[in-house]
Amino acid sequence: MELKFILESLLFSAQKPMSVKELRDVLASAATAEDADEAAKPFKKTKDDDVTAALEELAREHETAARSYRLACVAGAWQFVTQPEFSPWLKALVGVKTRPSRLSQAALETLAIIAYRQPVTRAEVEQVRGVNVDGTMQTILERGLVEQSGRAEVVGRPALYSTTPLFLEYFGLRGLEDLPAADELRRIPVEHPPAPVTADAGLATVPPEQLQLDETAKAKSEESAVPDPAETQT
Amino acid sequence: MPEYKVQFEVFEGPLDLLLYLIKKEEVDIYAVNLTKLATQFIEYIDLMRQFDLEVAGEFLVMASTLMYIKSRELLPVDQQVVVEAEDEGEDPRWELIRQLVEYKKFKDAAAQLQTLEARQENIYPRRPGKIEFENTDAPAKLEAGIFDLLNAVNSVLKRFSEKTAGTREIYEDKWSVSEKIEFVLQTLSERGSVKFSELFATAANRSEVICTFLALLELIRLKQLACVQPEPFAEIEISRATLAVPAGEPESAVAESATAIVEPAAPASEAAPQAEPEKPQ
């Protein structure tokens, strides 16, 4: 019997999403039962990696078969789920899912920063967003999407925040490594642009002796008197 | 008075507003003209004031940073050096651009999370029903007979006689069998099944034990309870009789068939009055 098909049958009948460890435990208990079937015995000491590999292969097979459902891994647990495009009919069948209201833009931004940078202090989040995040932090803490995970070893020992397994479940993510563009966002390299374009080119770089006094005054008055950017450029 | 046609978007903060302004200019963040941006930013804040919108402190901080950058731009490079040495060495322009780039990436990430959030709403997990097997484990358990019950109650009583050896108490009969029937049924409805000795755990003396035991026997006689021993010589477990369910089914089946008989009859009686007026026609 192939391992992946055994796992498929287990996930098909399981009451809840199953983690690799839970699946392995089922394999072990089937093999060590008093009246264990001969076919079950070889799987007594199946390794986690083998289970994961078999599940991934199974998931790929389901993906290529392009069925209305697929094998998904959310927060480390595997289960069969339907494809999103079939929701109109599923809504009619089982009713609209009871999900809390959608998150606000502010909450999503705050969550994104915590997710990629965790563990992170509130001050660091505010640094990135440029605004106070007390309210949004309160919301996402209350919804159990983030939690306090420790204290930073800096002055004042501020609280550190991390995302919870519920966060992964809410967004249907397998794990934190599954976050979109994870590598890039975890530590954004500080890129020094070769030459930031700022003022009208040449204005700041002209040596003072070459600047005519009246011209400088004229440039300044233009800047302040005519705020319209289009006119400033001309 | 210039006519402003402004669609007010809700900005999450000064960085969000700056990104919006940069996007409007259709330039790369690295290539943006910060002095121009400063002008637009301050114009926008003025606009917010005109509309009596509360300008958050963060916007004012950003405005001052932009003004600082702009003011520096007006000075030639060799005159800036002194100021920069005193500073933390970081060019405020670069610092601002870095902040903008970083914020932009997280804003994009938030948008992706939002997509995932919406997608997840439409994904339904498979929820198989709990597989129930028809009492497959029932034969494994032995049904306790009357002698098993008597033995069990004897051992409970023995404990009482040991406890009260040498003393005599005079007491009134406080317990009735019907009270105890209620007690047993209530315990079972709360806990599902109960061990024999647990039923007597709260009993204060022999007569209470006997009352409870009589209640138990009565309920067994009425086929309300099932007494099983998980294995020989194990303690007796008491639960609600599963027999009560099949006993109930024929009743409901009868009720259903009764309504089934009534229902076809109703249209018939309705049809009859309709048919009658037709006859004269």
Contact list, B55 vs chain A (CB under 8 Å):
none
Interface mutation vs chain A, best among B80, B122, B131, B132, most A CBs within 10 Å: B122
B237-240, strands of its sheet edge to edge: B142-143, B225-229, B237-240, B193-195
Pairwise pLDDT comparison (B271 vs A178), residue with the higher score: A178
Task: Give the A:B interface size as CB pairs under 8 Å.
Answer: 180
Give the E-state strand segments of B60-103 in sequence order: none
Asked whether the beta carbons of residue B109 and residue A188 sit closer than 8 angstroms, the reply is no
Residue B177 has pLDDT above 50, yes or no: yes
Mean pLDDT for the stretch of residues B132-144: 60
Split at pLDDT 50, 70, 90, the class of A53 is very high
Residue A203 has pLDDT above 50, yes or no: no
**B187 class by beta-carbon count within 10 Å (0-12 exposed, 13-18 middle, 19+ buried):** middle
The sign one gets for the Cα dihedral B59, B63, B68, B70 is positive
- What is the radius of gyration, based on Cα positions, of chain A? 28
Using an 8 Å Cβ cutoff, are A94 and B122 in contact?
no
Residue B44 contacts A where some CB pair is shorter than 8 Å:
no
What is the maximum span of chain A, computed from C-alpha positions, in angstroms?
102
How confident is the prediction for chain B on average, in pLDDT?
A: 72
Question: Which residue from A minimizes the CA distance to B46?
Answer: A227
Residue A6 contacts B where some CB pair is shorter than 8 Å:
no
Split at pLDDT 50, 70, 90, the class of A210 is very low
Provide the pLDDT for residue A193.
45
pTM: 0.57
Q: How far, in Å, CA of B7 to CA of B47, rounded?
A: 12
What is the ipTM, given to two decimal places?
A: 0.71
Q: Kindly report, residue by residue over A1-18, the tens digit of the pLDDT.
A: 788 899 999 999 888 899
Residue B84 has pLDDT above 80, yes or no: no
Mean pLDDT for the stretch of residues B164-187: 76
Residue B118 contacts A where some CB pair is shorter than 8 Å:
yes
Q: Kindly report, residue by residue over A96-131, the tens digit of the pLDDT.
A: 777 778 888 889 999 999 998 888 999 889 888 888
Q: How far, in Å, CA of B242 to CA of B248, rounded?
A: 10
Q: How far, in Å, CA of B99 to CA of B112, rounded?
A: 20
Mean pLDDT for the stretch of residues B206-231: 83
Q: How far, in Å, CA of B187 to CA of B180, rounded?
A: 10
Using CB atoms, pick whichever of A112, A132, A223 lies closest to residue B113: A112
Provide the pLDDT for residue A110.
92
Structure-token pair, residue A155: 């002055």
Q: Kindly report, residue by residue over A55-109, the tens digit of the pLDDT.
A: 999 999 998 998 899 999 988 899 999 998 998 888 888 877 777 788 888 899 9
Question: Which one, of B18, B20, B16, lies nearest residue B7 by Cα?
Answer: B20
Residue A95 contacts B where some CB pair is shorter than 8 Å:
no
Q: Kindly report, residue by residue over A180-195, the tens digit of the pLDDT.
A: 776 666 665 544 444 4
Using an 8 Å Cβ cutoff, are B109 and A111 in contact?
no
Q: How far, in Å, CA of A151 to CA of A138, rounded?
A: 17
Residue A66 contacts B where some CB pair is shorter than 8 Å:
no
Asked whether the beta carbons of residue B79 and residue A208 sit closer than 8 angstroms, the reply is yes
Residue B116 contacts A where some CB pair is shorter than 8 Å:
yes
Q: How far is CA B125 from CA A78, A168, B244, in A?
A: 10, 15, 36
Mean pLDDT for the stretch of residues A20-38: 86
B169 vs chain A: nearest CA distance in angstroms?
Answer: 54
Query: What is chain A's length?
Result: 234
Asked whether the beta carbons of residue B103 and residue A129 sit closer than 8 angstroms, the reply is yes
B143 vs chain A: nearest CA distance in angstroms?
Answer: 24
A13 vs chain B: nearest CA distance in angstroms?
Answer: 6
Provide the pLDDT for residue A145.
92
Using CB atoms, pick whichever of B106, B120, B123 lies closest to residue A112: B106
- Could you give the 3-state DSSP secondary structure of residue B52? coil
- Helical (H) or strand (E) element with B161: helix B146-163
Mean pLDDT for the stretch of residues B229-258: 58
Residue type, A26: V
Using CB atoms, pick whichever of A90, A129, A208 lies closest to residue B13: A129
Who contacts B177 (Cβ-Cβ below 8 Å, separation ≥6)?
B211, B214, B215, B218
Question: Which one, of B182, B177, B176, lies nearest residue B224 by Cα?
Answer: B182
Residue B248 has pLDDT above 50, yes or no: no
DSSP for chain A, written as a single string: --HHHHHHHHHHH-SS-EEHHHHHHHHHHHHHSTT--TTTGGGTT--HHHHHHHHHHHHHHHHHHT-SEEEEEETTEEEEEE-GGGHHHHHHHH-S---PPPPPHHHHHHHHHHHHH-SEEHHHHHHHHSS--HHHHHHHHHTTSEEEEEE-SSTT--EEEEE-HHHHHHHT-SSGGGSTTHHHHHS------SS---SSTTTTTS-GGGS-HHHHHHHHHHHHH---HHHHH-
Asked whether the beta carbons of residue A79 and residue B126 sit closer than 8 angstroms, the reply is yes
Provide the pLDDT for residue B210.
85
Pairwise pLDDT comparison (A132 vs A201), residue with the higher score: A132
B98 vs chain A: nearest CA distance in angstroms?
Answer: 6
Place of tokens 């440039």: A219
A159-163, strands of its sheet edge to edge: A120-121, A159-163, A146-151
**Between the CA atoms of B20, B23, B29 and B34, what dihedral angle is there, to the nearest 10 degrees?**
-70
Asked whether the beta carbons of residue B36 and residue A229 sit closer than 8 angstroms, the reply is yes
Asked whether the beta carbons of residue A99 and residue B74 sit closer than 8 angstroms, the reply is no
